[in-house]
Structure 1
């Protein structure tokens, strides 16, 4: 049986420690849905404190998965996040690894999640 990871390893080997963290995955998925997203929206949508969000943004920016743009909307300072091409690729790889993990569990019938039909 193939693992679908391309290297013969377990699908979890395709998960990125940087991307897989719940809040960073949320930031990337929201940013991928729009051309840009305001930091205040991310904070509210993900229910994070400003400091916690700032730390996650710093990790993603350092990994070059997002770009942070600062400017003004009228007189008010605003900060927007844009996902980079590298970020889109990392998000796609993460989703592919998760899909492969789900596929594998469906195939093996080892899942007890009610929304996943058992393997036949």
Structure 2
């Protein structure tokens, strides 16, 4: 049975990043990294993949003299996350229904 899961969001880190950003307007790189419990390089690679897909934007700036990076989900990213989660829920419901028939 083919599914409509987003291949980009089947990677746990990318899914977690987009889910975190979906709950806020934007977040500092370090906050996202800490939430996802990954290294800077792992988050950077995930953010690049999501940015290339149009799912998030990366904004660089300064707080005082310290460089900072902020990440934010785009409208397309939020829609992709919602569709991915809806498909996961559909798959679970179908599996539960099929399992109930064989119980």
* TM-score (norm. length: structure 1): 0.79
Deviation at 1:82, TM superposition (A): 0.7
Q: What is residue 28 of structure 2 aligned with on the other side?
A: 38
Matched residue count: 102
Higher Cα radius of gyration: 1
Deviation at 1:74, TM superposition (A): 2.3
Deviation at 1:75, TM superposition (A): 2.2
Where structure 1 has 5 or more consecutive residues not aligned to the other structure, the ranges are: 1-9, 110-117
Query: Within 5 A, what are the aligned runs for 1:33-112?
Result: 33-109=23-99
Runs (4 or more) in structure 1 with deviation over 4 Å come to none
- What's the CA shift string for 1:75-103, capped at 9, x where partnerless? 22111111001101100110011000110
Cα root mean square deviation, aligned? 1.5
Select the structure that is richer in helix: 2
Q: Secondary structure at the match of 1:13?
A: coil
Give the Cα separation in 1 of the matches to 2:3 and 2:97. Answer: 19
Deviation at 1:19, TM superposition (A): 1.4
Q: Secondary structure at the match of 2:59?
A: strand
